[in-house]
Structure formats: C-alpha cells, structure tokens
C-alpha cells in the first residue's frame, strides 16, 4: 500500500471509529457530519478489503522461506489422578470416596444419598 493509501486508510479508520463511538446509526451519523451514506459504505468496504488483503495466506506456488522453527512449550498436567472407587457429581459438587474408606462412611453416604432423592 502506498503512502497516500495509508493516509486515507488512517483517516477512514478514524471516521468509522468516530461513528461507532457516537452511538448513532450510520444514517444519523452521516447526516450529522455531511457525508453521503454511499461514501461511508465505500470507505468501510475499502478498509475491509485492505484488511483482508493484509491477512491473506501466501500462495504456496510462490517461493517462500520454509525455514520455520519449533519451540517447546511445557504444559502443566490438568489430569488429577485419584484412588477414588466412587465419584459422585451433582451440579458443581464432586464427592469422592477412596477404595479404603471404612464401611461406616459408606453406610452414612448411602443414607444421605437416599434422603436427597
């Protein structure tokens, strides 16, 4: 993009932002600022096309430097291991009972669960 288009794009971007920040509809803002709606939409369309052209993926048939590098990223494990024999979920509450839980706790939990139902 040449220098003239860069200046225009900056001016048009400021215009679009000013309209957006005003809270007015495009029709109201254009009338208040003496700009034809068709001019507003033309500029908006040109800005969108410029943005699209800047983002386009490169043509694979053209020569480009394929010498990319990789970086190692360490990710913390989010999987929690547990020795739970029973896992009960209700809403955002999770209750886990381990394999070696005493019988009296299992009996108590059974009573509580049947009362809740």
How does residue 64 score in pLDDT terms, banded at 50, 70 and 90? low
Residue whose pair of structure tokens reads 């739970």 in the numeric block:
84
pLDDT at 32: 94
29 or 72: whose pLDDT is higher? 29
pLDDT at 81: 64
How does residue 62 score in pLDDT terms, banded at 50, 70 and 90? low
Is-contact 115 107, C-beta < 8 A?
A: no
87 or 11: whose pLDDT is higher? 11
Strand residue runs (E) in the chain: 84-90, 93-98
Is residue 75's pLDDT more than 70? yes
């Amino acid at each position: 993009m040449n220098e003239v288009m860069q200046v225009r794009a900056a001016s048009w971007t400021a215009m679009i932002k000013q309209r957006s920040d005003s809270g007015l509809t495009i029709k109201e803002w254009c009338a208040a600022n003496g700009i034809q709606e068709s001019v507003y939409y033309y500029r908006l369309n040109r800005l969108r096309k410029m943005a699209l052209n800047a983002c386009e993926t490169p043509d694979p048939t053209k020569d480009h430097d394929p010498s990319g590098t990789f970086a190692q990223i360490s990710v913390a494990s989010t999987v929690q291991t547990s020795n739970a024999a029973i896992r009960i979920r209700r809403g955002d509450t999770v209750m886990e009972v381990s394999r070696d839980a005493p019988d009296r706790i299992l009996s108590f939990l059974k009573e509580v669960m049947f009362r809740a139902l």
